[in-house]
Amino acid sequence: MANAAHSHDSHDAGHGSYKSYAIGFILSVILTVIPFGLVMYPSLPKSITLWIVLAFAVIQVLVHLVYFLHLDRSAAQRNNVIAFVFAALVIVLLVGLSLWIMFSIHTNMMAK
């Protein structure tokens, strides 16, 4: 039973340092505040604001993956990265093909 407990040492390869968590937190706050400010105080056209918010969202997902989930190019994380990419591909295909089917059905129903 004593072997079941895991040690959480600071030199464990799967965990980040306080510095990396602080950097991730600060980047996350910045990547949230800027789009929030653009939406609350509109100074740009809506289409440009939308693209900026989407770009910041993608960057924030990457920041979370690297700084909080510790997904990187290291050999230890290779299986996790492959699983994440596969899951993302399945979700994109599922949502994209569902939208395509619904649009196709809508178009075919309205044509008659």
pLDDT in tens, the chain (112 residues): 555 555 444 444 557 789 999 999 999 999 999 999 999 999 999 999 999 999 999 999 999 999 998 888 888 888 988 999 999 999 999 999 999 999 999 888 886 5
Q: Find out whether 55 and 90 touch, Cβ atoms under 8 Å.
A: no
Sign of CA dihedral 5, 11, 15, 16: positive
Residues in the chain: 112
Q: Find out whether 68 and 18 touch, Cβ atoms under 8 Å.
A: no
Question: 109 with 82, same domain?
Answer: yes
Question: 17 with 64, same domain?
Answer: yes
Question: 81 with 111, same domain?
Answer: yes
Residues 99, 13: Cα–Cα separation, whole Å: 41
CA contacts within 13 A on the Cβ side of 38: 18
Instruction: Please report the pLDDT score of residue 64 as a whole number.
Output: 94
Residues 68, 28: Cα–Cα separation, whole Å: 11
Residues 97, 43: Cα–Cα separation, whole Å: 36
Question: 49 with 82, same domain?
Answer: no
What residue numbers bound the domain in which 95 lies?
A: 74-112
Question: 65 with 109, same domain?
Answer: no
Question: 64 with 22, same domain?
Answer: yes
Instruction: Please report the pLDDT score of residue 112 as a whole number.
Output: 59
Number of domains in the chain: 2
Instruction: Please report the pLDDT score of residue 89 as a whole number.
Output: 97
Q: Find out whether 85 and 104 touch, Cβ atoms under 8 Å.
A: no
Instruction: Please report the pLDDT score of residue 70 as a whole number.
Output: 87
